[in-house]
């Protein structure tokens, strides 16, 4: 029987007193230009959601958070927008 991984909470995964995943995502979204890019992103304007998600994951990695994927971030943003 495989043991289930413990969930890593978005607000409790900061590395060395840095920002948590949730803080990084909120900071990115609260920058007006970024949020506007997110809202209007599509394949026609060259700014796809996937490229924006990669940008956010890059920011997560910059603060030492290595375990979040683009899929994780997409899911979290969808939950925030609901």
Successive 10-residue mean pLDDT values, the chain, 82 residues: 78 93 97 90 72 96 96 94 86
Q: How many other β-carbons are positioned within 10 Å of the β-carbon of residue 29?
A: 15
**Is 10 part of a structural domain of the chain?**
no
* The predicted structure's pLDDT at residue 2: 63
Can you tell me whether residue 19 is helix, strand or coil?
A: coil
Domain annotation covers residue 13: no
* pLDDT for the residue numbered 47: 66
Give the CA diameter of the chain: 48
Give me 29's structure tokens: 């979204």
Q: How many domains does the chain have?
A: 1
Half-sphere exposure of 70 (CA within 13 A, CB side): 9
Residue 63 lies in a domain: yes
Q: Which residues pair with 42 in a beta bridge?
A: 47
């Amino acid at each position: 029987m495989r043991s289930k991984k413990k969930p890593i909470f978005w607000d409790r995964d900061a590395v060395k007193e840095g920002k948590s995943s949730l803080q990084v995502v909120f900071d990115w979204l609260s920058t007006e230009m970024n949020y506007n890019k997110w809202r209007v992103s599509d394949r026609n304007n060259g700014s796809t959601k996937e490229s924006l998600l990669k940008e956010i994951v890059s920011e997560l990695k910059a603060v030492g958070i290595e375990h979040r994927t683009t899929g994780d971030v997409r899911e979290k943003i969808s939950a925030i927008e609901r």
